[in-house]
Amino acid sequence: MHTDSGLSFEKRLIETLKAQPKGSALLQPFYNDPEIFDLDMERIHMRRWLCAGHASQASAPGAWFRFDVAGESLLIVRGTDHVLRALVNVCRHRGSRVCYEESGQSRRLVCPYHAWAYDLEGHLASARKSQDLDASELSLAQVHCRVVEGLVFVCFAENPPEFDHVDATLKQSLGRFGWGSARVAKKARYSVSANWKLATENYQECYHCRPAHPEFSQGHATEKPEEETVHLRRDARQRALDHGIEISEVYRWPGGGEQGFEGVACSNDALYEGCVTGSRDGSPLAPLMGDFSDYCGGFMTYADVGPASFFLAYPDHGVMYLFLPRGVQQTDMEIIWLVDEKAEEGVDYDPEELGWLWDVTSIADKRIIEQNQFGVNSRYYKPGPYTPMESTTQEFTEWYLEQLKP
Ligand code: FES
Ligand SMILES: [Fe+2]
């Protein structure tokens, strides 16, 4: 930090916020100060809705998967009543993690330490060799959990931000893709040695797409500035309309903030001619999903929820992009690929081909984001100006700075 390290954190923070130049990338401490990272987690990740995964990852009663973020661990468990719950993965005996594995299927959740057992709703069902315990006081803690179009959202806040507009907007924009009954075809995790904001900032601009993502740039109009692709987007909307799909450019909820990082933002975008989906050569990858009976001439839908959960919907597959902060300079990007529930691996799709585009793209992103962090850590780093193609990133960093204000 440039400031006197003898100052209290609050004073240093206020000084750094004051020193932040307008219209430029963030100052170094926002990317490498551990105390600012802790504040990020408290003010943002612990307060917002975060996507934890897809409902098909726990489809039958007793099925569960773990979701770790910001130093916390949740178990997304399907109860005997078929409801998904987000139970906190911290034993009510002496605090061990109850489930170490990433996913499982069990009648009860048994803590490996002293074998206290919880039912699928998180109630304490048995505690070995102990009497006079009030089991009703010893249930696993629970956080808010909502499912929309198969996407499982959790929120740690006691009073979470309103979710109904996220629900309505995602139904409107993603409903036609049939994600509610889709299944996971592939998962991958990219561990990135960089602050979570460098990773999400990178996701939110396509200024870097031309130099960094030749594979993506072959098919996706987002690689060019909006004014150069107005006709493409108009044509894509018309083609979709011709197929009975009404596409307005962007669905936004006026009361829920202008951008996805505040609530939800969805937009449809054009693919280049001859390209119908996000594949190596633009050709189909998997059976059509949801309401689609053809590719509608080549388009896709982007949906962003909160600051860390992003979705890409093509007519034949879906991509969930989750950014999971692990430490001040460590972030996991988790990608989940969705296909139609009836699609059969090896028959209807090849998982390698299905994942190819977003795998090469994420490997390239990992590299550029890590190199970005490396430079930002230099004593010579000075935030430079955002360009017009980075407007969403700029809006994100402005929104972020607001969240940190005392
Ligand atoms: S800490 Fe879980 S049973 Fe003891
Ligand atoms: Fe990228």
215 in a domain, yes or no?
Answer: yes
Alpha carbon of 98 to ligand 1 centroid (Å): 8
Of 64-78, 165-179, 190-204, 242-256, the poorest mean pLDDT is in: 242-256
Q: Mean pLDDT of all residues in the chain?
A: 91
- For residue 203, the ligand closest to its alpha carbon is 2
Is residue 257 pLDDT above 90, yes or no?
A: no
**Stated pTM of the model:** 0.94
The verdict on the CB of residue 94 being under 6 Å from ligand 1 is yes
The pLDDT of residue 157 is 96
Alpha carbon of 337 to ligand 2 centroid (Å): 17
Nearest residue CA, atom 4 of ligand 1? 114
Is residue 94 pLDDT above 50, yes or no?
A: yes
DSSP per residue, 323-348: EEEEETTEEEEEEEEEE-TT--BTTT
CA angle in degrees (0–180, nearest 5) for 152-293-358: 50
Of all atoms in ligand 1, which is nearest to the CA of residue 111? 2
Token pair, residue 94, equals 């002496």
Domain count along the chain: 2
pLDDT tens-place string over residues 114-173: 999 999 999 999 999 998 899 999 999 999 999 999 999 999 999 999 898 889 888 888
Query: Domain containing 118: what range?
Result: 50-155
CB neighbour list of residue 310: distance below 8 Å, 6 or more residues apart = 203, 260, 302, 303, 304, 320, 321, 322, 323
364 in a domain, yes or no?
Answer: yes
Are 204 and 313 contained in the same domain? yes
What is the mean pLDDT of the segment spanning 59-84?
97
CB neighbour list of residue 163: distance below 8 Å, 6 or more residues apart = 49, 146, 153, 155
Alpha carbon of 7 to ligand 2 centroid (Å): 37
pLDDT tens-place string over residues 198-235: 999 999 999 999 999 999 988 888 888 878 887 877 77
Among residues 135, 155, 175, which one ends one of the domains?
A: 155
Contact assessment for residue 256 and residue 262, using Cβ atoms and an 8 Å cutoff: yes
CB atoms within 10 A of CB 89: 23
The pLDDT of residue 16 is 97
Helices (H), ranges, 85-229: 164-174, 196-203, 209-212, 214-217
The verdict on the CB of residue 111 being under 6 Å from ligand 1 is yes
d(CA 233, CA 194): 34
24 in a domain, yes or no?
Answer: no
> Residue 272 maps to which CATH number?
3.90.380.10
Are 259 and 387 contained in the same domain? yes
Are 119 and 203 contained in the same domain? no
